[in-house]
Amino acid sequence: MLVMLELNHKPENSACFNCRLKNLCLPIALEASNIRYLDEIIERYTYTKGDYLYSQNNNFRSVYAVRSGSFKSSLINYDGETRINRFFFPGEIIGLDGIANGMHTNTVQALEHASVCEISFPQLQELSRKMPSLQNHFFSLMGKEITEGQEIHGFLSHNTAKERAVNFLLSLSARLARVSLSSSKLLLPMTRADIGEYLGLTLETVSRTLTQLQNKGLISVNNREVTLLQMDSLREIIGCSED
């Protein structure tokens, strides 16, 4: 039987209550008076660039909410090849890959100095039973993870290098905008090699594609800083219009 640790009822000035990401993360599912219960089962940690959050085949114990910085997730397939399959940014949940089999299927590594909230999954389950809204929100996150994975796989399987690169930049733009960061000036925490591995492209193709977009005046590139200059034109490339 899963047993939740006794709660000490932190006041509503707890870290979760005051976190700027509470409207993106798990607290969004809770009334203000109940956020303190979630805060009681959270441990907070910081990581430096290159640190591992967990590795493939590690036992699944917790899920993690990104507070700052970014992470990359990679998978070693049956042929021994490594493939980056996702990047994570503030407000997003890491670790759902371990729920199905009790072991993580990916390796997650910090791309820069970063911090997370670690949430014990058994305690989260127990708390969710007492707060159905939290359980429903967590199921929604799991469903979103599955859907996004399918969409990414489909997009990378059927689109050109330019379409893949533009879709990546626009997706990153939208995700950064959600946490009140610039949606047009992107400071990429990952290398071009990382981007290529994620998009299924060579490093040379990524560099060439970014140069082509810059020559057309759609973006400006300065090392890892990419400025999106013509958002509408970029959206047209992937057949997407702003709502």
pTM, whole model, 2 decimals? 0.82
pLDDT band at 111; cut points 50, 70, 90: very high
Average confidence score pLDDT of the chain = 83
Pick the CATH number of 15-148 from 1.10.260.40, 1.10.10.10, 2.60.120.10, 3.30.110.30: 2.60.120.10
Q: Give the model confidence (pLDDT) of 68-88 as tens digits.
A: 999 999 998 888 888 999 999
**Can you give the residue ranges of every domain in the chain?**
15-148, 159-237
The reported pLDDT for the residue numbered 131 is 76
Local confidence band at 242 (pLDDT 50, 70, 90 cut-offs): low
Fold of 159-237: Arc Repressor Mutant, subunit A (1.10.10)
CA distance to 183, 190, 192, per residue, from 70 (Å) = 16, 9, 15
CB-count exposure of residue 213 (10 Å: 0-12, 13-18, 19+):
buried
Task: Say how far apart CA 79 and CA 86 lie, in whole Å.
Answer: 20
Point out which residues pair with 45 in neighbouring strands. 116
